[in-house]
Amino acid sequence: MLHNARVLVGISGGIAAYKSAHLVRLLKKAGAEVRVVMTQGAQAFIQPLTLQALSGNPVATDLLDPAAEAGMGHIELARWPTHIVLAPATANLIARLNAGMADELLPTLILATNKPVFIAPAMNQQMWQAPVTQANIKNLQAMYPSWQWLGPDAGEQACGEVGAGRMLEPEAIVEALQPAQKLAGKHLLITSGPTREALDPVRFISNHSSGKMGNALASAALRLGAKVTMITGPGHLPVPAGVQQVAITSALNMLQAVQDKLASCDWFIGCAAVADYRPAEVSEQKLKKGAEDELSLQLVKNPDIIATVGQHPQRPSLVVGFAAESEALLQYGEQKLKRKGLDWIVCNDISQPGIAMNADDNAVTIIGHSSQKVLSQASKQKIGQQIIDFLIEQTL
Ligand code: CTP
């Protein structure tokens, strides 16, 4: 079930470190390739040799070891995994992560990675409850919304006390790494980012869309087993690993790319901020400044890409649009839903500060033909997950 997974298990120094040996065995049994990184503290509880034997790979412990760096160095180790599991994650490790410290190999790796991180805290119940531990976790959750926190369990602790702080059982940790592949076999086509409409070889009309929301939707769908193709405009952020990307420039290019992919796609999500108009003429030479103080541009309407999809003979089974509105959010959203032949439209209120275009957060109302769902302000990553979960609930 974890075939093709490369799991990096990070062990820090707590008594629960003995359970990590079992975790490594289970991960291997599930088909994953496993590498282990241990802190100094962890080595006081369990020998690297044990983990080496169980994982079948050398255990990394030192940041400044030239021999280890010559093999798989810390940056390569940060790039290698498909999943990083910190089990146990002690209060100390969590505090170091929150402070962004790179004082040992394990926290350095976490600082240097963009891979999915799963954290299984384990510590004395008083340490778990300590306001500073809770504040560290809250801060990390805000900074890294995609990290998944597993547990801790409550119960009798190694120190004899009873409460929350026991590491989640290895079986439960392995299960958490394999989310139900609810979108397996589905192909999602997502348009994302701005389009750019040329005036001449050096000038264009465009907008501030960053592609963050499109990326968040793509990551959420990939995690659930979908195949994802993104058609992205210029200046788009790098797409998540695993996405098939078609990079385009103008709205006309985007329409062509969408039509090329339509036959094979099951869901279409139009997240792009498509320019509504383009210059009527594109000058082959750079336009020169004239004697007049005013200049009028003649623009012509671009095709409506999502409306084309909504009415297409090869219409995918689900077509979802976005609407950015500065007033009458729901009214305009509903009109677009009907006019463009959509199943759902995700409406953002761009008059609210700190959300929507180019921001890290969003807050949306999803409007359908017979129901609505409000998703309150959260990171785009989280909103992306919630939108995909909602669409799954409604359709599968
Ligand atoms: N859209 C599209 N092609 C266009 C314009 C918009 O596919 N030429 C899609 C967007 O990707 C989004 C939805 O239509 O999913 C709504 O975009 P929006 O800009 O809010 O709506 P418009 O139709 O452009 O209306 P207006 O700008 O007047 O609000």
| Residue-range domain boundaries for the chain | 6-177, 187-276+295-395
Nearest CA to ligand 1 atom 18: 323
Find the mean pLDDT for residues 142-151: 87
pLDDT at 124: 95
pLDDT digits (tens, 9 = 90+) for 339-349: 999 999 999 98
Q: How far does the centroid of ligand 1 lie from the alpha carbon of residue 363, in Å? A: 18
Find the mean pLDDT for residues 126-138: 96
Q: How far does the centroid of ligand 1 lie from the alpha carbon of residue 392, in Å? A: 24
- CA–CA dist 19, 170 (Å, integer): 7
pLDDT at 381: 84
Q: What CATH number does domain 187-276+295-395 carry, 3.40.50.1970, 3.40.50.10300, 3.90.550.10, 3.90.1170.50?
A: 3.40.50.10300
- The reply to whether 271 belongs to the active site is no
What's phi and psi for 35, nearest 5 deg? -125, 145
Catalytic residue among 159, 265, 271, 347: 159
Domains 6-177 and 187-276+295-395 alike in fold: yes
pLDDT at 218: 94
Using 50, 70 and 90 to split pLDDT, how confident is the model at 59?
Answer: very high
Nearest CA to ligand 1 atom 17: 323
Q: What CATH number does domain 6-177 carry, 3.30.750.24, 3.40.50.1950, 3.40.1120.10, 3.40.50.1100?
A: 3.40.50.1950
Pocket test of ligand 1: the residue of 195, 274, 366, 387 to mutate, having most ligand atoms within 8 Å of its CB, is 274
pLDDT at 122: 97
Q: Is the pLDDT of residue 71 over 80?
A: no
**Contact predicate 272/254, CB 8 Å:** yes
Query: Nearest CA to 152 among 21, 16, 2?
Result: 16
Pocket test of ligand 1: the residue of 252, 336, 345, 364 to mutate, having most ligand atoms within 8 Å of its CB, is 336
Residues with CB under 6 A from ligand 1: 191, 251, 270, 272, 274, 276, 302, 304-306, 321-324, 336
Shortest-distance atom of ligand 1 to CA 269:
15
Distances, alpha carbon 227 to alpha carbons 181, 203, 230, 249, 345, in Å: 11, 35, 10, 23, 22
Using 50, 70 and 90 to split pLDDT, how confident is the model at 166?
Answer: very high
Q: Is the pLDDT of residue 267 over 80?
A: yes
Q: Is the pLDDT of residue 70 over 90?
A: no
pLDDT at 162: 86
pLDDT digits (tens, 9 = 90+) for 269-324: 999 999 999 999 999 999 999 899 999 999 999 999 999 999 999 999 999 999 98
Q: State the average pLDDT for the chain.
A: 94
Find the mean pLDDT for residues 128-157: 91
